Amino acid sequence: MSINKFTHQRVDELVRLAASERFESGSLTLLNFMEEIQKKLRGIQFGRISQRVYAYYPDELFARGYISYRDIRYIRGTPEKYTYNVSSPYIENNKTDKYNADRFFRMSSINIDTAVRNAVKYLRAYTPTDIVRVTVGLANGARDEVSHEERTDIRQLSSKICGLRAMEKNLRNELMHLYNAGHQFVDPEYGSAVAEYFTKHAAHTENEKTGVDFTFVLVKTVDGRHRFTCVDINRISSVAYGGEEKLDVNTHVTYELPDDVLSKVSVLTVGEDNTFLDGIGYKYCDEVYYVYK
């Protein structure tokens, strides 16, 4: 099962749990589970969204997974059987249905020592290529949305010019010839629509050809310096839909970005999260960018 089927959680969205906080079900046992994990994974912390408890490191983008102490069998009319549960994108529980993501990514045990070993083994940091796999669908979706908006504008202009949302090829060729020749239409508004149609059509065609290859940039501050992990992505839609491109081979780390990449990242930096700028790229958050090649 693909890693992007897991419920990924941004660290900056979590509410940190104080060591003294209690839970309504199995509270002391869950706290004991947390403390045993912290003994093995130094510096790890716990936070929550609603009632789900996530394990995370403050300097990482995504929580490493989530834990619980509860009966997860969903069987009515049977005695409760509490287990220690660890869920992580790196777990593949092939004893269960792979189409049930909640169970597929989870390991459970009645023994706390076994559960802690599972936590140590599977609560791992996301690699840069994992972050690509988690976020690339959002970048591709944002690009597709811009493309859809461009097509909608072109169809509306076509409808205004000839009454059809998809202009016939022969008519388009005739109007293009007149437009390129600088023809002055009797109706200025009609001429304006023709000019806008061909301007937007040309821009859309160019964007569709060029806006397929991106450079993924992960920004981290290390010893007071920005460290950039870059991944070259060829045909972003293919990667977004689970293509088998070897991302690790296309990955490199640098402390200085090429000028063209740096300028695009700089433009995106001032925008909000989940922002796409045509010809520039996509900002997922302050640490993750996709820029046009």
How would DSSP label each residue in 30-68? HHHHHHHHHHHSTT-EEEEETTEEEEE-TTSSB--EEEE
End of a domain among 195, 210, 225?
Answer: 210
Provide the 8-state DSSP code for 53. E
> Quick one: pLDDT at residue 267?
97
35 and 93 fall within a common domain = yes
Q: Please indicate, yes or no, whether residues 23 and 110 belong to a single structural domain of this protein.
A: yes
168 and 182 co-located in one domain: yes
pLDDT at site 264: 96
Q: What is the pLDDT of residue 25?
A: 43
Give residue 95's domain range.
3-126
Position 110 scores a pLDDT of 92
Neighbours of 233 (CB within 10 A): 24
Confidence (pLDDT) at 263: 97
Residues 197 and 240 in one domain: no
* Residue 151 and residue 64 share a domain: no
Stretches in the chain below the pLDDT threshold 70? 1-2, 18-27, 74-77, 95-102, 146, 148, 204, 207-211, 244-245
Instruction: Give me the amino acid identity at 268.
Output: L
Could you tell me if 32 and 112 are in contact, meaning their C-beta atoms sit under 8 angstroms apart? yes
Same domain, 9 and 88: yes
In this prediction, residue 2 carries a pLDDT of: 67
Looking at 82, 102, 126, the residue that finishes a domain is: 126
Work out the end-to-end distance of the chain between its first and last CA atoms, rounded to an integer number of angstroms: 30
Q: Are residues 116 and 136 in the same domain?
A: no
**Total of domains in the chain:** 3
